[in-house]
Structure 1
Amino acid sequence: MASSLFPLHVIVFVLTLPSAHPLLQLSSPLPAPTCEPGHSWAVQLRWGLEQEGGSLDELANQVAREAGMESHGQIGHLNGHYLLCRVQDEEGDPRVPGEVLGAHPNVLWHSQEGILRRAKRAMTFNDPQYPSQWHLVSLRSVHGMDINVTGVWERDITGAGVTVVVVDDGVQHTLEDIQPNYCPEGSYDLNSNDPDPMPHPDTRNDNHHGTRCAGEIAAAPNNSFCAVGVAYGSRVAGIRVLDGPLTDSMEAVAFNKHYQINDVYSCSWGPDDDGRTVDGPHPLGKAALQHGVIAGRKGFGSIFVVASGNGGQYNDNCNYDGYANSIYTVTVGAVDENGRKPFYAEECASMLAVTFSSGGRHLRSIVTSDWSLQHASGCTEGHTGTSAAAPLAAGMVALMLQARPCLSWRDIQHIITYTATRYDTEADWEMNGAGFHHSHKHGFGLLNAWRLVNAAKVWESVPFLVSYQSPILKELETIPAYPNKLTLTWNVTAAALRQSGMQTLEHVSVTVTITHPRRGNLEIVLLCPSGMTSLIGARGGGHEWAVPAQ
C-alpha cells in the first residue's frame, strides 16, 4: 500500500440515546401501514411521565385494544403517530372508537380516515386534433422531440396578458379557435385600410396562411374544435399586409402598428427563396424595426420573430434575407419531427434557433387551425415550412413574457442563446469564444419552452446596448481563385473597447461592397479570434450580413 502524503485521522462518533424516550429512537423506515377504507383511525400518542419502561409501539397496542382495534404500526417516519384499524370480526362490539380515543389520556389527537379525492394534474383537452399535435406532446420514443410545454401549462403559464400579432395575409378572427382570444385593438388591415384583418378569399385559395399561424400561437382550448395553441392564454391580433402590393411605407407601418398593445410580431414571410434574390427591409422598414425595439412595449422593445426561409432546395441562404440577418429580429429555422434539418430549410450564420415543422413526404406536418372560408374545414394537418416554425417560437416568447413581462428584446435573444439545446450531432456545431455551440443549420439549438420560461423567471436584464464601429477598410486587390483567398484584418484594441463601453459581444454586423462579374463564385467568411468561423456570404448572393455573437 502506498503511503499517504498526509497523516490519516479517523474520527469515530458514538451516539447513545436513552431508550426510555421513544421519540428519539432511530429505526429503519417501516412499511406503510394499510387498513380497509372507513375502518382506520390515525392517532398521535403522548408518552406520559407516569409511563415506565415500554415503548410507543406497546402503548399503541394498548390503546388499540381498549378501543376494539389493532395497531398497524407507525405512520411513515412520524414518531408517535400510529394507524389503528377496527377489528372486522367484532361487529357486536359496543365500543365506539372515536369516543374511546377522545377520552384516552395518552391520545393527543385522533381522526377517522376517509378517502381523499385527488386528480392528476396532467393537461387534457377535448379539442379533437390535440392528440395529433406531436410538436406539443410527442408520444414517440424519441426523447425531446417536442417543445416541452405541458409542464409550463400545468403551472398556469399560458401567455396570459401577452398579445401576439400575426403580420400576414389576414386572420379569420371569427373562427371558433381564434375568436375567444382575438384582440381587435391590436389588429388592422393595411391592404384595405380598415381595422378588420379578415382574409379575403382569392382564386388561388392561399390566404389561409395568417390564420394557420394564429392558431399555432393562441388557438383556444377545450372548445371541442380543432387544436390548441402554444400560448392558448394569450391574445392574438392580425395585421393584413401580404394580400396586395407591398411598399416600404406599408411595411414600416406594419412593424410598428399598435406597438403598445402588441408585444410579439410573428412574421412568416420574406424575400423570394429562389437562391438568387438578395433583399430585405428597405430604409423605412429598417427604421421601423429599430424604432420598434426602442419604443415598443413601453420601452422594453417589440419582439420580432421571423422565419428563416424555405429555399434550402435551391441552396438559398438566410444571410441574404435582410429580415433574418437583422440584429433586431429572432430568426427561427425548422427541424422535422426527428430533429433533423428538412430539405427546404435554409442555413445561415444569423440563425438564432430552430423549432419543429414539417419534413419529408412520410413525416408529419403541423396541426393547427385553418380558415373556414372557401369551403375549408377550419382545421388542417398540413401546415409546413419555416412559416410553421416561427409562430411556435412566437408563442413560446409569449409564455416567457407572462413569466417575466419586463424582459427586453435583447433579454429574449440572450435567454434563447442560453437555453436552446444542442441535439443533432451531425450538424456543423462550433463553439464560440463565450462557450456556446452554434450551427449554421440549427442556430444555438432547439427551442425548449420549459427551459425558456424557467430562465425568464430568474433572468437579470442585460446592460444597455452599446456599439463599436470600425473604420471603412478598403482593399483594392483582385480576389484570387480558390483555394487562395483575400484576407482583411481589423484589430479592436482594449482602449477602443473601453471608450465604447462594451463588455460583452452580442452581434457582429458586416457590410461589404464588392465588384465581381459572378456573385455566385464568391464566399465570404468571418474568422473570429476564438477560431470560430461564420460563413456570412455563401455562394449565391452578397449584400449585407449580420451574425450572432462569436
Structure 2
Amino acid sequence: MRANSVLLGVQVLLVSVAAVLQPRRPAPRDYGAFDYFVLEHNPDSSASRHDAVGALGLEFVEQVGELKDHWLARAPKARATNVPRALAALRADAISHAHPTVRRTAARVADSIRSLELQAPRLRAKRALSSGTSNAQSLSPAAATAQRLQIRDPLFFQQWHIVNDFNPANSVNVTGVWESGITGKGVTVAMVDDGLDYNSKDLAANFDAEGSYDFNDHESLPGPKLFDDTHGTRCAGEIAAVRNDVCGVGMAYDAKIAGLRILSHPITDADEATALNYGYQSTAIYSCSWGPSDDGRSVGAPSTVIEKAMVQGINAGRGGKGSIFVFASGNGAAVGDQCNFDCYTNSVFTVTVAAIDYTNARPSYSEACAANMIATYSSGHGRAFALALEARPELTWRDIQHLCVRTAVQVNPTDPDWERTASGRAYSYKYGYGSLDTWALVEAARTWKLVGPQAWLQMPVVTLADASMEDGVLRGGEPLVLGGISHTMRITSDLVADANLYHLEHVTVRVWIRHTRRGAVSVELVSPAGIRSVLASPRERDTATEGLAGWQFMTLKHWDESPVGPWTIKISDAQSDNMEESGAFMGWSMTLWGSARDPALAVPWAVPDPARLHVAFTAPSLNVTSATATSTTSAVTLDYSISAEPSFSVTVAPSHTTSTIATLTPSHWNAGWITLLMATFVFLLLGASGCVLLFWRRWRASSHKYTSIASHHAPVMAVVDGESVLHVVGEDSDWSDNEDNDDASLLQSRTG
C-alpha cells in the first residue's frame, strides 16, 4: 500500500515536471479582424494587468512566450485606433485637475503600463542560397568513408561538406567525431524557418513534436504548405537526417529536430519573440537562416520585445546555461550589403556564420563584416554545436562562442583580408576567425574549462558640437569634411575594474550620424593596440536620408585584447567633396563586453527600458565642443570581389582631416516646462522674486550636468567634484591578468 502511494507520488511529480517543461501553445491569431498589442505590465503597481488591458479597451489574449510581465492583447480593428488615445488620456488624467478619485485611478493604471506596442505582421527574408557544388569525378574518399562507417544513404557521396572528394582537406571534419561515438544524442535543434517535412523518412524518427509549432498558421505541427516551404526541411536534413538508406545523412544524425514555422507569412514581433523562446528548456540550439532584407540599403534590428526574448534565452534557457542562437551572416554581398547593418547578426548574443564553398572561397553572396565569428559550408547552422553539447552538455552559450574563436581554422591564408589581432589570432571580415572544424571543436569541448558569467563596461554617450535630436530629427554635429572626423575615448584600468570586467570579447559601438545619403558613410574603430575594425563601409544602394540615429555596430576583432587605453572612432564620408551631399558626426557611445572578474558580482544583462531608446539629446551626458586638426583619417571602402582582395580595403583621404579630442565643458540644463513649474512653485512658496533669483543662482552654481545624445545602453554621465568619470584624459595603468586582483565591484554611479 505504502509502495503504491510512493509510486503514485513519483508519477504525479513527473507529470508536473513535464507540464512545466512543455511549451505553451500560443492561441490562434485573427489579423483580419483584430489588431494586436504587446503590453508590458509593471508588477509593482497596484493595478493588475487586467485593469490595464480593460482601461485601454483591449481583450486579454496570453503571455508573450517566456517574457515575464509582457502580455498580448487585442482590439477589433474598428476600435484599435482608440487604444493609444486611451493610454494618452490616462496619462493626461493622472496629472490633470480632475476629481481626485479620477486622478488617482488614472495614475494607478497609467503607472502599471510600462510600454504598449502595436504588432504589425512582417515577413522575414530567407537566406536560402547554396554555397556551391563540386565537380568531383572520383568518389574514392567518400566511398572509403561510407564503407568504413557502413553508411548506406545513397546521396552521401554528394555531401561534399562531409567528405570532399574534389578538395579532401576542405570539409567539416566530422567523421572522426562519429567514430568516437558522438552523433548528437540528447540534443534538440530547432529550425526557426519555413515548413518542416516531419513525415520525411529522413526526419520522422528525429522529429520533436513537443518543441515544434506553426506560428504562421497557429497550428501544432509545422508542416510545409507552400510551394517554397523547402528551406527548413533542407537545413534540418543537413543537421539531423537519420542514417538510413534514404537521401543523405545529417552531421548530428541522432539529434532531435524541431520546427518553428515563421517564414512562410508575415508574423508579429510578439510571435517571433515567442518562437525564439519556444521550448527553451529542452531545445538547445535555434538555427536561424533569415533576417532583414539583404538588399544593400536596409538596416534591420529586432524590436525591443524580440531583443528581450533573445536575452531571456541566453539568461534562462537550458536551466540557465543559455539558448544558442545561430544566424547566417546574410546573402547580400553581391549588392553591397554588410552583416553589421543587421542587428540579429551583429548581436552579442548570437553566433554569426559566414559561408564558404567547396574550395574554401567566399561565395559571391556571403556578407562580410566585423561581426562574423566563423565560416562553414552549406546550410544547417548549429549542427557541429549539437555534437559539442552531446560531448559536454554543461557548455553555456558563452562557452560555445569561446570554442568557436579558439578552434576555427584559417582558410585561404593568402587572402589579404586576413589580419593579425592583438591576441595573435588571424581574423577576416569574410571568414571571421576561420572555418568551423568539428573535430577540433568537440575535442576542445571535452576538457574545456567553463567560462564565467558575462560582464560589461558601458561608456556614456559623447556628443559633438551642437548635436541635438528632437522628435527623431537629428540636427547639428561636427560636419564631415574630406577625410573624415575622429574622436578618442580613453578607458582606464579603474573603469575596467569597477565594471568587474576581465577578458574582453565583444565591442559594440552606437553612433549618431546625420547624412543626406546614408550609404556614403564609413565607420571604423581603432583600439589601444592599433587594431582597426571596419564597422561600416559605403553601400551604393543605400540612398536613405535619415542617417544613423543610434545604430549599434559590433566587432569581434578585439577578442582577448586589453581594453585599457585610447579607443578612436573614425567617421568618413565617401561623398564629402560632393556639395549636394553632406553630413555630420553627432555622437557615439561604446560598450565593452567580456568575462566577469568576480563571478559573485555578475548580474544578468537586461534590455533597457524602451523609454530610454529615444531620449532627447538634451539629457545629461558628456558634451564635446572642441575640434583640432590632427593626422590623416583613412576612408574605407568595401571590395565585393571574390578574388584575393581584402573585404575592406583602404583609400587614403587628403591630409586636412579633422579630429575631435574630448574636452569636458559644463552646460546649462534646459528643463522646459518643468523649469517653469519649478519657478512658479518657488515664487508662490517664497512670495518674492528676489528669493527666486537667489535660488536660481545657487542652483546654477552647483549644477555640473552635461548635454547628451539618446542612448539605448549607455548610462547617464556621473560627476565627482565636477570631474567626469569618463576619464577621457589622464593616465592609465597596465591591463593585468593577475588573478589575485579579484576585489573589483560592479560599476556604480558616482555622485558628489
Under a length normalisation based on structure 1, what TM-score does the superposition of the two structures give? 0.70
Equivalent residue number for residue 480 of structure 2: 480
2:234 to 183, 203, 212: 212
Counterparts of residues 335-354 of structure 1 (less than 5 Å): 335-354=356-375
Equivalent residue number for residue 34 of structure 1: none
**The structure with more strand, counted as a fraction of residues:** 2
Equivalent residue number for residue 386 of structure 2: 398
Cα gap change, 1:120 to 1:303, in 2 (>3 Å) = closer
- 1:230 CA displacement: 0.8
Amino acid at match of 2:195: G
1:437 to 423, 426, 431: 426
Where 1:339 maps in the other structure, the secondary structure is coil
- 1:221 CA displacement: 0.5
Equivalent residue number for residue 443 of structure 2: 454
The answer as to 2:159 corresponding to 1:138 is no
Instruction: Give, in whole Å, the separation in 2 of the partners of 1:427 and 1:228.
Output: 36
The answer as to 2:515 corresponding to 1:516 is yes
Equivalent residue number for residue 458 of structure 2: 469
- 1:187 CA displacement: 0.5
Equivalent residue number for residue 327 of structure 1: 348
Equivalent residue number for residue 703 of structure 2: none
Cα gap change, 1:465 to 1:324, in 2 (>3 Å) = same
Equivalent residue number for residue 499 of structure 1: 498
Equivalent residue number for residue 555 of structure 2: 547
Cα gap change, 1:123 to 1:427, in 2 (>3 Å) = farther
Amino acid at match of 2:232: G
- 1:421 CA displacement: 0.6
Residues 183-220 of structure 1, C-alpha deviations (whole Å, 9 max, x = no match): 1111111112221111112xxx2111111111010000
Instruction: Give, in whole Å, the separation in 1 of the partners of 2:383 and 2:313.
Output: 19
Instruction: Give, in whole Å, the separation in 2 of the partners of 1:341 and 1:300.
Output: 33
- Answer whether contact 2:146 2:152 (CA < 8 A) is retained: no
Counterparts of residues 307-318 of structure 1 (less than 5 Å): 307-318=328-339
- 1:143 CA displacement: 4.6
1:168 to 183, 193, 197: 193
Instruction: Give, in whole Å, the separation in 1 of the partners of 2:164 and 2:209.
Output: 34
- 1:461 CA displacement: 0.8
Amino acid at match of 2:392: R
Instruction: Give, in whole Å, the separation in 2 of the partners of 1:339 and 1:124.
Output: 28
The answer as to 2:184 corresponding to 1:159 is yes
Instruction: Give, in whole Å, the separation in 2 of the partners of 1:187 and 1:434.
Output: 42
Instruction: Give, in whole Å, the separation in 2 of the partners of 1:154 and 1:225.
Output: 21
- Answer whether contact 1:168 1:242 (CA < 8 A) is retained: yes
Counterparts of residues 32-181 of structure 1 (less than 5 Å): 122-140=148-166, 142-181=167-206
Which protein is bigger by CA-based radius of gyration?
A: 1
Equivalent residue number for residue 383 of structure 1: none
Amino acid at match of 1:286: E
Counterparts of residues 194-213 of structure 1 (less than 5 Å): 194-201=219-226, 205-213=227-235
Instruction: Give, in whole Å, the separation in 2 of the partners of 1:420 and 1:120.
Output: 26
- 1:144 CA displacement: 2.2
- 1:465 CA displacement: 0.7
1:288 to 306, 309, 315: 309
Where 2:367 maps in the other structure, the secondary structure is coil
- Answer whether contact 1:427 1:441 (CA < 8 A) is retained: no
Residues 19-43 of structure 1, C-alpha deviations (whole Å, 9 max, x = no match): xxxxxxxxxxxxxxxxxxxxxxxxx
Amino acid at match of 2:437: N
Instruction: Give, in whole Å, the separation in 2 of the partners of 1:124 and 1:525.
Output: 52
Residues 161-201 of structure 1, C-alpha deviations (whole Å, 9 max, x = no match): 00000001121100000001001111111112221111112
Amino acid at match of 1:178: L
- Answer whether contact 2:370 2:557 (CA < 8 A) is retained: no
Instruction: Give, in whole Å, the separation in 1 of the partners of 2:330 and 2:188.
Output: 24
The answer as to 2:403 corresponding to 1:415 is yes
Where 1:297 maps in the other structure, the secondary structure is helix
Cα gap change, 1:120 to 1:296, in 2 (>3 Å) = closer
Instruction: Give, in whole Å, the separation in 2 of the partners of 1:455 and 1:406.
Output: 14
- 1:407 CA displacement: 0.5
The CA RMSD measured in Å over matched residues stands at 1.5
Instruction: Give, in whole Å, the separation in 1 of the partners of 2:266 and 2:164.
Output: 40
Cα gap change, 1:488 to 1:401, in 2 (>3 Å) = same
Residues 289-311 of structure 1, C-alpha deviations (whole Å, 9 max, x = no match): 11100000111000000001100
Equivalent residue number for residue 111 of structure 1: none
Equivalent residue number for residue 275 of structure 1: 296
Equivalent residue number for residue 529 of structure 2: 530
Instruction: Give, in whole Å, the separation in 2 of the partners of 1:427 and 1:288.
Output: 39
- 1:122 CA displacement: 2.7
- 1:532 CA displacement: 1.4
User: After TM superposition, which residue ranges in structure 1, 4 or more long, deviate above 4 angstroms?
Assistant: none
Equivalent residue number for residue 13 of structure 1: none
Residues 413-443 of structure 1, C-alpha deviations (whole Å, 9 max, x = no match): 0000000011212141112222221110000
- 1:346 CA displacement: 0.7
Residues 69-127 of structure 1, C-alpha deviations (whole Å, 9 max, x = no match): xxxxxxxxxxxxxxxxxxxxxxxxxxxxxxxxxxxxxxxxxxxxxxxxxx999323111
- 1:538 CA displacement: 1.8
- Answer whether contact 1:305 1:394 (CA < 8 A) is retained: yes
Instruction: Give, in whole Å, the separation in 2 of the partners of 1:195 and 1:315.
Output: 39
Amino acid at match of 2:484: K
Instruction: Give, in whole Å, the separation in 1 of the partners of 2:194 and 2:398.
Output: 28
- 1:471 CA displacement: 1.1
Equivalent residue number for residue 26 of structure 1: none
Residues 425-468 of structure 1, C-alpha deviations (whole Å, 9 max, x = no match): 21411122222211100000000100000010010111211110
- Structure 2, gaps ≥5 residues long: 1-144, 466-476, 543-547, 559-752
The answer as to 2:207 corresponding to 1:182 is yes
- Answer whether contact 2:215 2:267 (CA < 8 A) is retained: no
2:324 to 272, 285, 303: 303
The answer as to 2:259 corresponding to 1:238 is yes
- Answer whether contact 1:505 1:549 (CA < 8 A) is retained: no
Amino acid at match of 2:535: I
- Answer whether contact 2:177 2:183 (CA < 8 A) is retained: yes
Instruction: Give, in whole Å, the separation in 1 of the partners of 2:555 and 2:339.
Output: 11
- Answer whether contact 1:185 1:261 (CA < 8 A) is retained: no
Instruction: Give, in whole Å, the separation in 2 of the partners of 1:396 and 1:278.
Output: 30
- 1:478 CA displacement: 3.1
- Structure 1, gaps ≥5 residues long: 1-118, 358-387
Instruction: Give, in whole Å, the separation in 1 of the partners of 2:502 and 2:461.
Output: 23
